[in-house]
Chain A
Amino acid sequence: MKASNPNKYSFSAVEPGSGLKKAMEMKRSEIIAEVSASGLKGRGGAGFPTGVKWNLAAAAQAEQKYIICNADEGEPGTFKDRVLLSDFADLVFEGLTIGGLAIGADKGVVYLRGEYTYLRQHLEAVLRRRREQGLLGENVLGKDGANFDIEIRMGSGAYVCGEETALIESLEGHRGEPRNRPPFPVDTGYFNQPTSVNNVETLAWAACILAKGANWFKKIGTDRSTGLKLFSVSGDVENPGVYEFPMGISVAQLLKEVGGEHAKAVQIGGASGHCIPAVQFERAIAFEDIPTGGSIIVFGPQRDMLDVAKNFMEFFVEESCGQCTPCRIGNVKLLEGVAMLREGRCSMHYIKELRLLGETMQVAAKCGLGQSSSNAFLSIVENFKDEIMGRASQPA
């Protein structure tokens, strides 16, 4: 594994512990107000305002509450959480501690994907040190009644467990099948108690926001998408890796920074995201334009977009939990459609049918996986018609 250079991220400029220290001097409502004021939105991709989520969890009445760090980073093309957990584990745990104190949870759980088992030893060592330093456990930083501890739980190789209710099902010892929402986890979550589920990166930014103030974060980015964001860049670029950019950066600008100007298309948001053709490279990466959890996969001029569609659809056919019909059957039909296109025997009529199916899945599937699994297919069919239709037969 390549060594990374932590110094290139803003996280390294934040003094470890300073955010938590400030949070300890604040009331719970003040912590949440600070995070709300920063405009921080969930960095996993869905973009739900973190302050609102914490506020709902804080307002819920219960004896026991939980906060969960979603480290089930499974979206194709995403690896920023791996870098964060390797290089800035303290900051992530600090954010989790702050969140726990803010919502009134004394227990935090890190749900780490099974594929990242090699990170566990390091993370357990950081947790042990934090307990010794009095940053975890009873009376955090000597404050009476501020109890908080963190447990690491491992996933077992299921992409769908990155969906928050499936993650909770998995923690409870069940198949990772998403629940109906509502009720939302902030109300009825882990063991039916109020639970806030936050992405690794969200928690790290929350710690930074407490340390440096909401205004610092708010000044960066756009009105509706504030702050900085980590991007996992891979594919046909000169310098793949994890980059930090302000929200609202245009696709063209980002490609210039990473050495991928010659791209013909960029997949933004992973397999469940959208495929953006070169003519749209002036669009902004932000929640109001192209939302993303940070996955940027760049396709050079030589790439066959049907290979890409095939790879993504195979992914979803395998990772669908099978609970609801639109996702279980729909993805299989879309994959068959890709095969027909590859063989050059797909009528325009049938393409229209498949698009209707994809759009139906977006509204009819039960969880985020099924609702977004047709995105890549639809955007490739929409944007690369002349490339994919009427082809000479190709083995499926």
Chain B
Amino acid sequence: MIQTEQEKLRDEIVALAERYGRNRGALIPILQEIQKKRFQISDFAMQLIADMLDIHPVEVYSVISFYSFLDFAPKGKFVIRLCRTISCDMQGKERVARQLENDLGINFGETTPDGKFTLEWANCLGMCDQGPAMLINDRVFTEVTPEKIHEILEECRGTFGIFSVENQEGRSA
């Protein structure tokens, strides 16, 4: 039987609600999991989560709008967050920022048309002694220079899709 995308999402959310409990305290962990897996929290997901936790969907909306790591709009598979706080600023974050924009072809706050990268600012990442620092998803990069940007992005590109290492190996085999 063909399962629609919406049915799949429903199954996922039901499973998450089972795991974290059907109570308000489970809301943020569930949202974090959906964000991680689907790169966004859609209107449909918000409604399903609200139903599962027996709260109004606007409550779910309000929580998502508050936290900078949760988003309604689709984000890239790799979310790049460059620290803009003072210590990283003094260590040259501005040049790293320009190079990220140049190499990705987007501005801060945007996602590449292929849906791979989202570029964002972050506030202090707690790497002030080794700046400029940035996060790519959960991974932290320190002492980033404009020169290193290309290599880092290529490494990301190499981890999925037609450029992925696995796919390359699969094809040559």
Contacts and interface: CB of A to CB of B under 8 A. Distances in A.
A156 B67 contact: yes
Given A79-B129, A241-B129, A315-B123, A235 B32 contact: no
A357 to B, nearest CB: 22
A172 B25 contact: yes
Contacts of A240: 128-130
B63 interface: yes
Nearest to B87: A234
Contacts of B139: 118
Given A115-B135, A172-B24, A303-B90, A76 B85 contact: yes
Nearest to B81: A115
A331 B62 CA distance: 23
A262 to B, nearest CB: 14
B69 interface: yes
A115 B140 CA distance: 9
A355 B108 CA distance: 33
A123 interface: no
B71 to A, nearest CB: 10
A78 B123 CA distance: 12
A234 B133 CA distance: 13
Contact of B69 (A114, A118, A236, A319): A114
B142 A1 contact: yes
B125 A115 contact: yes
A225 interface: no
Interface in B57-71: 62-63, 66-70
A1 B139 CA distance: 10
Contact of B63 (A79, A171, A173, A307): A173
B129 A242 contact: yes
Interface string B65-97: 011111000000000010011110110000000
B34 interface: no
Given A1-B140, A77-B87, A232 B128 contact: yes
19 contacts: A73-B126, A74-B123, A76-B85, A76-B128, A78-B128, A154-B28, A156-B31, A156-B67, A157-B68, A158-B66, A172-B25, A173-B23, A175-B63, A234-B128, A234-B131, A235-B90, A299-B90, A311-B84, A315-B124
Interface of B: 23-29, 31-32, 53, 62-63, 66-70, 81, 84-87, 89-90, 122-131, 135, 138-140, 142
Query: What 6 A-B pairs have minimum CB-CB distances, sorted nearest first?
Result: A234-B128, A173-B27, A156-B67, A240-B129, A157-B68, A157-B69
Given A77-B85, A315-B85, 16 more contacts: A1-B127, A1-B140, A76-B128, A77-B124, A115-B125, A153-B29, A154-B28, A156-B68, A156-B69, A157-B68, A170-B28, A242-B129, A267-B86, A271-B85, A311-B84, A311-B85
